[in-house]
A and B are shown apart, each in its own frame.
Chain A
Amino acid sequence: MSEDRTFALPRDTREALKEIGNADILIGIPSYNNASTIGHVVKAVKIGHAKYYPGKRAVLINSDGGSSDGTRDTAMAAFNEDIYGTSLVKKPQEPLRGITTRYMGIPGKGSAFKAVFEAARLLEVKACAVFDSDLRSITPEWVQLLLAPILEKGYEYVCPFYRRYKYDGTITNSIVYPLTRALYGRRVRQPIGGDFGFSGRLVHRYLEKNVWNTDVARFGIDIWMTTTAMVEGFKICQSFMGAKIHDVKDPGTDLGPMFKQVVGTIFLLAKENESRWKEVVGSRPTAIFGFQAEVSPLPIHVNIPRMISKFKDGFEHNRAYYEQILSNDCMSKLAEVWEMCTDKIDFPMVLWVKIIYNYAVSYQKEVDKIHLLNSLVPLYFGFVASFCKETETLDDYRAEEVIEELCEIYEDNKPYLLKMWAEKGCED
């Protein structure tokens, strides 16, 4: 696919960056209506630069999607505040430069990132880090944790490793992490963690790809970045960041668009990278850095009855469609789960994994991909409700063991995926 020649950065921002010239480091903060939290993120980055990279030429860019709540003004106000003295940090020899811009293109996180990539390319930076603007637990150390592996250890892509509450990150835990691990054989625990570090070389590679009219321009960006780094052989590591405290959402309410964009992107990438995963068996760990601190993430309340109700209603509504896309074996087991479901649900992990593999295969042939992904959402609610019930009395570490078990089931059933992939004519 040829490179997309359109810009996400407006002309005036490009001119401003050209005036700055070159830089060693770029920090990107994508935003959309995050006025209540972005100030803290900007200040943490500012202190992080002063503390860890005072001699490096660094630029902070806020890439905004047209916020109406004053996000950009808040970001710049925080940037301009003199906080070095009160933070007990010396002013850096090389002052941090700050820019806020409104990106162009499809509204979404991926377009915001594209603007950051373009800025990184213009500035010819060695390393770049991006931080979500809804972070409440970011500290100045995070700047070092995402940049040091690149600047000092030769890594090219750094994923965050957070301690998260057992019900946080349900899309990651039920699909994204185990499926990516089973496909490509790399254990990257938070492949869509939201905050990443990457090299200037990888930025160039990202910008060579014309994906900015797909879901990559939206929530698909994180998994696309991680998968691209993984399959193209860029050296990857993880940094332990502590606990992630951000504006979390109940998985039973408004994760719909994110779910569809992330999962759709994984399925799309599976086709694109077919030759990279078919021979892979099992998985290997990925290097991890960072100081080990005993941290406890904040508990999240989940509404299990609502998820069960969405599963039951969704199953009835989509039953005929499921019969078309699921194998007979899966369909009959799923119907059993639905029939047995009361205020409790027992959704077997093997069934869930096979359903995901059925969907990965069907996605390649289905014309109406939106309908396909929409139909997976109720099943996801059913599985997550079952996971929440199963882990109700477990602490986060024990719940992690359940996720590890799920990962191994994904790996062990990969031959099933390969068989269906071939039978349904998905092969090149």
Chain B
Amino acid sequence: MEDKKKILAIDDEEDIRFILKEELTDEGYEVFTLGNPTKALDTIESFKPDLVLLDIKMPQMSGIELLGKIRDKYYDLPVILLTAYSSFKKDTASLACDQYVVKSGDLTELKKRIERIFKVKI
């Protein structure tokens, strides 16, 4: 049997982390959630995710800044940015993400994007 794909979800809002954990676990993924982005690199090192879901607006560090740090160290690790606003695209650094998804209570679009990423073969 194929190993479960591992997803690290980083978001400062607890209820969002809860929904992500619940729904994505139901989809068959192994999910670890993190509320403090400053611990992200250490968590990536220990959890070894196949994908990172990253909120953009967080008090300790912006998701885009963290994306840059992830890219420096783990270039091949796919990242999906989660955002409430499409204006983040004005920051060119955001283009280093694999996908972005507008946050919503309905995770259908996010699940599609995750599936799409796990199909990528280069």
Residues of A that sit less than 8 Å from B by CB? 161, 185-186, 189, 240, 279-285, 287-288, 290, 292, 294, 397-398, 400-401
Contact = CB atoms under 8 A, between A and B. Distances in A.
A240 B95 CA distance: 11
A397 B120 contact: no
A136 B76 CA distance: 36
Interface in B58-77: 71, 75-76
Contacts of A281: 119-122
Contacts of A398: 86
Nearest to A185: B122
A282 B93 contact: no
A287 B71 contact: yes
Nearest to A285: B96
Contacts of A240: 92
B37 interface: no
B39 interface: no
A397 B121 CA distance: 28
Contact of B89 (A279, A282, A294, A397): A397
B91 A292 contact: yes
Given A287-B71, A397-B89, A282 B95 contact: no
B122 A189 contact: no
A285 B120 contact: no
Contacts of B24: none
Contacts of B95: 161, 189, 285, 288
Contact of A280 (B89, B90, B122): B122
28 contacts: A161-B92, A185-B120, A185-B122, A186-B122, A240-B92, A279-B121, A280-B122, A281-B119, A281-B121, A282-B117, A282-B119, A282-B121, A284-B76, A284-B98, A284-B120, A285-B96, A285-B97, A285-B98, A287-B71, A287-B75, A287-B96, A288-B96, A290-B92, A292-B93, A294-B90, A397-B87, A397-B89, A398-B86
B122 to A, nearest CB: 4
Nearest to A293: B92
Contacts of A287: 71, 75, 96
Contacts of A283: 120, 122
Nearest to A163: B92
A280 B71 contact: no
B96 A284 contact: no
Among A189, A282, A294, chain B packs the most CB atoms within 10 A around the CB of A282
Contacts of A288: 92-93, 95-96
A162 to B, nearest CB: 10
Given A283-B120, A288-B92, 18 more contacts: A161-B92, A185-B121, A185-B122, A281-B121, A282-B117, A282-B119, A282-B120, A284-B120, A285-B95, A285-B97, A287-B96, A288-B93, A288-B95, A288-B96, A292-B93, A294-B90, A397-B86, A400-B89
Contact of A284 (B78, B92, B119): B78
Contacts of B98: 284-285
Contact of B122 (A284, A292, A401): A284
Q: Which 7 A-B pairs have the closest CB atoms?
A: A282-B120, A185-B122, A281-B121, A240-B92, A292-B92, A285-B96, A397-B89
Contacts of B122: 185-186, 280-284
A186 B96 CA distance: 12
Nearest to B87: A397
Among B78, B97, B120, chain A packs the most CB atoms within 10 A around the CB of B120
Nearest to A398: B86
A397 B76 CA distance: 26
A396 B76 CA distance: 29
Interface string B8-35: 0000000000000000000000000000
Contacts of A185: 120-122
Nearest to B78: A284
A203 B31 CA distance: 46
A260 to B, nearest CB: 30
Interface in B92-122: 92-93, 95-98, 116-117, 119-122
B111 to A, nearest CB: 16
Nearest to B89: A397
Among A280, A285, A400, chain B packs the most CB atoms within 10 A around the CB of A285
